[in-house]
Structure 1
């Protein structure tokens, strides 16, 4: 019972969750403002205001911290996309524009998150693989939402749906990386509009082709 005691109305599990979140928050701040080489156990614990033993309670190394932070940002991004999509009017362009605006907003409203996404995605082979799997997960999300929006029957061929979803998401990740690094001289609004144009064009074209 000792390990599960409640202090101040907060259970042991809740305290562990809070400590983990504090460490991830510290990692975001360090990576987003100072860089990967500054991400040490000591810096993390100082930033989180925790004893080092709590670091080892949650993570077995730096890659584990990076993975947890990357996943946290990806989850926030997915939630923002879905919220934007579902809140928009029932119109192809409105939905695409709202989802893209929300997603890009996550990475640009807090510039630390964009820096982390860029740094983590190339940090180690394991993290590069994780990035690939995350892109695939977002492509699956785009495909599922497209199938639902256009009313595409499950029996219809899905190879082209998967191809276009992966093409769109992979292309957006590459383009967004270039834009964040200053290689594309566009405003955020121009980037959102141009991306929306491509998503709508390929989505509408695919839907028409599958309905023939």
Structure 2
């Protein structure tokens, strides 16, 4: 039994997790370099260096692969943003600038991830629904960070907080998409700075309105 559970010091669960990661890495590469049409079982397995049975061990459809990859990129993005906020100096602009920089750099240092987050995210009905939920989750994160930073925890939740957070996150997604397509003639640093200006402006204004 022990031999079935471990091999070379790696458990069966760890090996399965490694195979799943290899398949998702292959999916990321295929989507970023060849496009959605080339995302086939055989291409995935060739890219991961795995037998097709390991694909079916982890996924039951291409949509399942896309959803898992989208979730992986979203989780990386959330981790990067939260870490940046927690380690940034304690001023509104520093916090906003750090978070926005972390998010934009993660998506643009590896354009494949931006392709998944901004383009592939609308490829199927399942992904479109997932994108709506993920956008809402990031908006909730922005709202929670703002409430905490400005000391508004004693204030009853105001719908305008959710509105502005959703507006900011949705606007950033559309702006980043336009920038990647070459429709906004800005450097990445300028894009980050202008985005920071908008986040701070709306955040400071809202905090002034809601403070007791």
Shared fold, TM over 0.5 = yes
Aligned residues: 212
Match of 1:38 in 2: 38
TM-score (norm 2): 0.97
Query: Given the superposition, is the C-alpha separation of residues 37 and 152 from structure 1 closer, same or farther in structure 2, using an over 3 Å criterion?
Result: same
State the distance in 2 between where 1:3 and 1:16 align.
15
TM-score (norm 1): 0.97
Match of 1:176 in 2: 176
Question: After the TM superposition, which segments of 4 or more aligned residues of structure 1 sit over 6 Å from their partners?
Answer: none
State the distance in 2 between where 1:81 and 1:110 align.
16
Q: Deviations over 1:48-69 (max 9, x none)?
A: 0100000001001001000011
Is the Cα–Cα contact under 8 Å of residues 36 and 119 in structure 1 kept in the other structure?
no
Match of 1:208 in 2: 208
Is the Cα–Cα contact under 8 Å of residues 155 and 210 in structure 2 kept in the other structure?
no
Q: Deviations over 1:136-163 (max 9, x none)?
A: 0000010111111111024423211111
- Structure 2: stretches of 5+ with no match in the other structure: none
State the distance in 2 between where 1:198 and 1:52 align.
48
Q: CA offset at residue 2 of structure 1?
A: 6.8
Q: Does the alignment pair 1:86 with 2:97?
A: no
Q: CA offset at residue 121 of structure 1?
A: 1.6
Aligned-pair RMSD on alpha carbons? 1.3
Match of 2:54 in 1: 54
Is the Cα–Cα contact under 8 Å of residues 23 and 45 in structure 1 kept in the other structure?
yes
Is the Cα–Cα contact under 8 Å of residues 81 and 100 in structure 1 kept in the other structure?
yes
Q: CA offset at residue 5 of structure 1?
A: 1.4
